[in-house]
Structure 1
Amino acid sequence: MTTVYVIEGRRVTGPGGFWRAVGEAVNGPGGYFGENRDAFADCLSGGFGTPEDGDFVLEWRDHDVSRRALGPAFFDELVDIIDERAPGALRLR
């Protein structure tokens, strides 16, 4: 069964807010799932809260709000990292 992690895009007010939102989506309150691009990419490879078999989805709700807060370039970079490390795992809502 696929595990779905929900990133609440309205909570993303900048890079720090993104790292907190994704960390808590995957690992609960105060959870860690990277705090920079490289660590985030490593975490997406499994073993940091996501299933080892890669059977998970990151559902990014209100991603348009996050995109504005992060800036298009950084947002697009995060999407590219997810697509590269966890192909097919991203759902933008």
Structure 2
Amino acid sequence: MTRDLPVLVVDGSRSGDLDGFAREFSRLLSGYVWRGNLDALNDVLRGGYGTPDGGWVLRWTGSETSRTTLGHPETARRLERLLPDVDPSNRAAFTARLDAARRGEGPTLFDEIVAIIREHGPGGRESADGVLLELA
């Protein structure tokens, strides 16, 4: 028997970059503002930051628009902002990732966000959180 889960809808067509997407996603949260940090997104999806208890559906409308706006250029921009704080022991790998994004290669922010969300759903390492992603 399938449970009826609450559905939270984020509209990817209303954001032009990661900051805009973070604002849109934050509209879903009760009493918490997500500012685009991917580690913090993982925490939000675990619960306790204004998401429903007991599982929920994240319906991402305008996801194809998000695929574009959170593509390689935005990925490179985010990595450039993070670069000054990268530990020297990780700088070479980080720079290689930045260079790849600048060339239009490798995973994008969209890919990373989708992967994080899917980790909290069926088959993911944190599937107990019960987050079901619907790309629309």
**TM-score, normalising length: structure 2:** 0.60
- Give secondary structure in 1 for the equivalent of 2:10: strand
Asked if 2 retains the 8 angstrom alpha-carbon contact of 1:45 and 1:86, the reply is no
Asked if 2 retains the 8 angstrom alpha-carbon contact of 1:44 and 1:86, the reply is no
1:42 is matched with 43
Query: Over aligned residues, Cα RMSD in angstroms?
Result: 1.9
Alpha-carbon distance between aligned partners in 2 of 1:43 and 1:24, rounded to the nearest angstrom? 13
| Structure 1 spans left out of the alignment, 5+ residues | none
- Give secondary structure in 2 for the equivalent of 1:85: coil
Deviation at 1:32, TM superposition (A): 1.3
Asked if 1 retains the 8 angstrom alpha-carbon contact of 2:45 and 2:51, the reply is yes
Asked if 1 retains the 8 angstrom alpha-carbon contact of 2:71 and 2:110, the reply is yes
Structure number with higher relative contact order (C-alpha < 8 Å, ≥ 6 residues apart): 1
Deviation at 1:3, TM superposition (A): 1.1
Farther off after superposition, 76-85 or 31-40: 31-40
2:135 is matched with 92
Asked if 2 retains the 8 angstrom alpha-carbon contact of 1:5 and 1:26, the reply is no
Deviation beyond 6 Å, 4+ runs, structure 1: none
Distance 1:59 1:16, change over 3 A: same
Determine which structure has the larger strand proportion and give its number.
1
- Give secondary structure in 2 for the equivalent of 1:89: strand
Q: Which amino acid is 1:79 matched to?
A: V
Asked if 2 retains the 8 angstrom alpha-carbon contact of 1:34 and 1:43, the reply is no
2:125 is matched with none
Identity %: 39
Aligned length: 90
**TM-score, normalising length: structure 1:** 0.85
Asked if 2 retains the 8 angstrom alpha-carbon contact of 1:16 and 1:35, the reply is yes
2:112 is matched with 77
Asked if 1 retains the 8 angstrom alpha-carbon contact of 2:19 and 2:35, the reply is no
Larger Rg: 2
Distance 1:76 1:89, change over 3 A: same
2:128 is matched with none
Alpha-carbon distance between aligned partners in 1 of 2:21 and 2:56, rounded to the nearest angstrom? 19
